[in-house]
Amino acid sequence: MVVIGAGAVGSATAIEALRAGLRVTVIEPGEPGGPQATSYGNAGWLSSHSVIPPALPGAWRKVPGWLADPLGPLAVRWRYLPRAMPWLLRYLASGWTEARVQRTADALRTLLADAPALHAQLAAEAGVPQLIEQRGLLHAYRSRAEFEGDALGWRVRQRTGVRWEAWSADELRRREPDLDARYTLGIFVPEAGHCRNPGAYVAALAQHALASGSERLATRATGFRIEGGRLRAVRTETGEIACDAAAICAGARSGPLAAAAGSAVPLESERGYHVVVEGATVGPRTPVMVADGKLIAHWMDGGLRAAGQVEIGGLDAGPDWRRAEILHRHLQSMFPALAGAEGAVAAKQWLGHRPSMPDGLPCIGASAASADGVLAFGHGHVGLCGSARTGRLAAQLLAGSVPETPLEPFDPKRFG
Ligand SMILES: Cc1cc2nc3c(=O)[nH]c(=O)nc-3n(C[C@H](O)[C@H](O)[C@H](O)COP(=O)(O)OP(=O)(O)OC[C@H]3O[C@@H](n4cnc5c(N)ncnc54)[C@H](O)[C@@H]3O)c2cc1C
């Protein structure tokens, strides 16, 4: 069988397919875990509690702001608006009521609940156990009122079984001495984990698949040869690869491949950015997300990374590095001592594409044209976290066994 794409999802799928006894060829035009992959530059959160879809009830009221402020935490590029409109409408509809949000959360929880443990296991197998840390994650708020603004999300999380500790201002100061004093409430989620170098982690998983017997071809998949409902070959830029099964794990670039397999699904890029401050000497003790800037900060192997921003502008438009500068400035305001610290001015910048479905749930399931083709993409904000369980589920589908958790919520056919 062929795995298309060696990001977090494809690499986990390759490992699990090998474990299921399948012969595996991985197609990837870039370096596995390289900067072309979204899996490279994310915030590293293995946030088993990130079960809330991006749109919540009342999100429609924010639409004028998304259009008016091109540098806000969520923005839609005007020129791209006509193309994005159908996706945006579905996105708003999927978070229309609390009941819908709960349904999404319940489904996502099945994918994410034990992600930190699954990733620790994969990392150990791949020889990089040090890259996965289980230290909990922190959400910092400036006031109780700001927290109340997120109350729906926390209420829904609680119903899925997520538990947390509330830290007072004093507790927050004690635990996070470098964090700016404007943050006065911490919500600490002990169950969650963190990856301290997502690119290196994915590269290690891909290498582990290779060492376990997979082949790798440096080429790009372009389509499929399907005859009488059976998959015969994956078409690539360098010719056909004969196979009897394939998994589409090309992240935000999976859309045309899924369409070629009969499943035209509404996949959109939620573009995001990161900055890495290499010489930083002050920062968080716990990976932290702040409610005011909607960004995540923590130490990575290469320095202090801040990741965030959502920009709807498609796959082809160039980066708007002002967004990365916003992240950098916000990081400095979170940790005021950072601005004066050695090396803090030199920040590396990166743009990536979250592969996002409008309802906040990935596509994991058979393609419409052939059950031999499996879609495994569309994890949006939680693709690193969700990749370990997704790899297992995709491998189970490819091997023809019964998936270990229900796949109905992730069925690509749900879009009609
Ligand atoms: C700023 C930011 C912060 C984030 N933070 C987090 C976080 O903290 N936690 C979390 O869980 N998620 C986070 N995410 C989301 C997460 O990074 C993605 O959901 C995840 O990386 C998607 O993984 P993937 O394997 O599906 O796609 P990718 O990592 O993009 O991998 C797809 C691979 O397919 C290859 N490919 C593309 N086209 C083809 C083709 N035609 N043929 C063959 N190969 C192809 C690409 O080269 C690439 O290597 C964040 C994303 C962003 C942008």
Q: What is the pLDDT of residues 351-394, one digit of tens each?
A: 999 999 999 999 999 999 999 999 999 999 999 999 999 999 99
Could you tell me the distance, in angstroms and rounded to a whole number, from the CA of residue 170 to the centre of ligand 1?
Answer: 38
Alpha helices per DSSP H over 212-349: 255-260, 322-334
Q: Is the CB of residue 379 less than 8 Å from the CB of residue 365?
A: no
d(CA 334, CA 327): 10
Strands of 221-227's sheet in order across: 221-227, 230-236, 239-242
66 or 167: whose pLDDT is higher? Answer: 167
DSSP H/E element including 116: helix 115-125
To which H or E segment does residue 259 belong? Answer: helix 255-260
4 pocket-lining for ligand 1 (C-beta < 6 Å): yes
pLDDT-derived band at 306 (thresholds 50, 70, 90) equals very high
Q: Is there an atom of ligand 1 within 6 Å of 379 CB?
A: yes
Nearest CA to ligand 1 atom 12: 382
Q: Which of 125, 87, 118, 403 is CA-nearest to residue 252?
A: 87
Report the separation in Å between the CA atom of 353 and the middle of ligand 1, taken as the mean of its atom positions: 7
Cβ atoms within 10 A of the Cβ of 294, count?
14
Taking 50 as the threshold, does the pLDDT of residue 344 lie above it?
Answer: no
Whether 400 is covered by a domain: the verdict is: yes
Q: How far apart are CA 350 and CA 344, in angstroms?
A: 17
295 Cβ closer than 6 Å to some ligand 1 atom: no
Residue 338 lies in a domain: no
- Residue 274, strand partner residues: 307, 350
- Band (pLDDT 50/70/90 cuts) for residue 120 is very high
Mutate to test the pocket of ligand 1, among 4, 39, 139 (most ligand atoms within 8 A of CB): 39
Whether residue 410 has its Cβ less than 6 Å from ligand 1: no
CA atoms within 13 A on the CB side of 300: 26
Please tell me the total number of residues recorded for the chain in this structure. Answer: 416
- For residue 376, the domain's CATH number is 3.50.50.60
pLDDT tens-digit series, residues 267-284: 999 999 999 998 888 999
Among 87-101, 155-169, 211-225, the minimum mean pLDDT is found in 87-101
248 C-alpha to ligand 1 centroid (Å): 13
Q: How far apart are CA 113 and CA 46, in angstroms?
A: 10
* Per-residue pLDDT, 210: 98
Residue 333 · residue 348 · CB < 8 Å: no
Query: Does residue 211 lie in a domain region?
Result: yes
In-domain check, residue 397:
yes
Mutate which of 222, 253, 361 for ligand 1 pocket (most atoms within 8 A of beta carbon): 253
Its domain, for residue 219, covers: 1-57+97-134+192-266+357-416
* Ligand 1 atom nearest residue 271's Cα: 53
Confidence of residue 341 (pLDDT cuts 50, 70, 90): low
For residue 293, being part of any structural domain is answered with no
Determine the residue of 139, 234, 274, 381 to mutate for testing ligand 1's pocket, defined as the one with the most ligand atoms within 8 A of the Cβ atom.
381
| Minimum-distance ligand 1 atom for the alpha carbon of 351 | 53
* 52 domain-assigned: yes
| Residue 237 DSSP code | T
- Give distance in angstroms: CA of 379 to centre of ligand 1: 8
352 lines ligand 1 (CB under 6 A): yes
Pocket test for ligand 1, best of 48, 197, 354 (most atoms within 8 A of CB): 354
The answer, yes or no, to whether any atom of ligand 1 lies below 6 A from the CB of 307, is yes
Mean per-residue pLDDT, 31-59 = 95
> Around Cβ 150, how many Cβ atoms within 10 Å?
16
pLDDT tens string 315-330: 999 999 999 999 999 9
Per-residue pLDDT, averaged over 57-78, amounts to 83
Query: How many A from CA of 150 to the centre of ligand 1?
Result: 27
pLDDT value for 342: 53
Q: Please state, for a pLDDT cut of 70, what percent of the chain lies above it.
A: 99
Task: Tell me the mean pLDDT in the region 194-209.
Answer: 98
- Would you state the pLDDT for residue 65? 81
Write phi, then psi, for 270 (nearest 5 degrees).
-100, 95
Decide if pLDDT at 339 tops 80. Answer: no
* 400 CA to centre of ligand 1 in angstroms: 26
Q: Does residue 175 belong to any structural domain of this protein?
A: no
User: How much distance in Å is there from the Cα of 165 to the middle of ligand 1?
Assistant: 31
Average pLDDT over the chain, rounded to an integer: 95
User: Comparing 76 with 39, which gets the higher pLDDT?
Assistant: 39
Start-end of H helices in 308-400: 322-334, 383-399
Interval 6-19 mean pLDDT:
98
Residue 310 located in a structural domain = no
Helices then strands, each counted (H, E), the chain: 13, 21
Distances (CA, A) of 247 to 16, 381, 383: 12, 21, 16
Ligand 1 and 45: CB distance under 6 A: yes
Q: Is 372 near ligand 1, meaning CB less than 6 Å away?
A: no
Q: How far apart are CA 208 and CA 17, in angstroms?
A: 13
pLDDT in tens, 212-238: 999 999 999 999 999 999 999 999 999
Substitution candidate for ligand 1 out of 25, 42, 273 with most atoms within 8 A of CB: 42
Q: What is the mean pLDDT of residues 97-123?
A: 97
Total domains in the chain come to 1
The residue with greater pLDDT, 312 or 74, is: 312
How far apart are the C-alpha atoms of 394 and 365, rounded to whole Å?
7
